[in-house]
Structure 1
């Protein structure tokens, strides 16, 4: 279980969950909720720091921890899956990581390439790139899938 790959969306959800105690009351009730994403990502020292700072009776300090959690959740979602894996899944065996990305990876690549080709086609139709440039870039994008 400790070597299973971490999921980018789950880390973001747990980071956003750090706002729940603040949303319902001004006093943090569950320090584990604030440090949940750090525990999930196995960043034990940060989890201890977040948990202990979230129960400090000084509201400004607790709010800073909650804001940091929200910003980290946004950062997790904005990262490419490869960058997330590089940052948080380095200790996971390659075969387990490959199984996780085997399902989502190809689908995301095809969707990204499809969108990029549509944008290139629009640029070509608008006369901003030539037919030759369009064909070159389209082939490069399609080569990424295979």
Structure 2
């Protein structure tokens, strides 16, 4: 089962548990990185480098603010994305302007570069 909200405290405890016990990499599984968790476990059986990495990551997770941790590791969005409302008349006018530009380009009255610049300007006005 995937956890939507991950606790920074739990991640730090699991990272430090990897330093103190042979169970290196549990924090990676908790943070949704099973490949790296498996790499830590396999390498932890042979060499002590994953223990050092767990200690460093434990300190990094501890120093990270709660907001930064949530932004990076939590799967839920706390802020709803802003939706832009576009006026249908504005969209219609944009379509007409783009068609007129394309006609000018096809007739050779403006170059490809001019067409692209003006097209981008029109699209940037809407966005």
Structure 1 position 72, deviation (Å): 0.3
Instruction: Find 1:63's aligned residue among 48, 51, 54.
Output: 48
Instruction: Give TM-score, length-normalised by structure 2.
Output: 0.57
Within 5 Å, give how 1:15-34 maps onto structure 2: 15-21=15-21, 30=22, 33-34=23-24
> 2:8 aligns to what?
8
> 1:94 aligns to what?
77
Question: C-alpha offsets along residues 35-85 of structure 1, whole Å, 9 cap, x if unaligned?
Answer: 1101111111110110110112xxxxx221101001100100100111111
Which structure shows the higher helix fraction? 1
Unaligned runs of 5+ in 1: 22-29, 57-61, 98-146
| Runs of 4+ in structure 1 over 3 Å off | none
Unaligned runs of 5+ in 2: 80-127
Structure 1 position 3, deviation (Å): 3.7
CA distance in 2: counterparts of 1:55 and 1:14, whole angstroms: 17
CA RMSD between the two structures: 1.8
Instruction: Give TM-score, length-normalised by structure 1.
Output: 0.50
3-state SS of 1:34 partner: coil
Q: State the number of aligned residues.
A: 79
Within 5 Å, give how 1:18-57 maps onto structure 2: 18-21=18-21, 30=22, 33-56=23-46
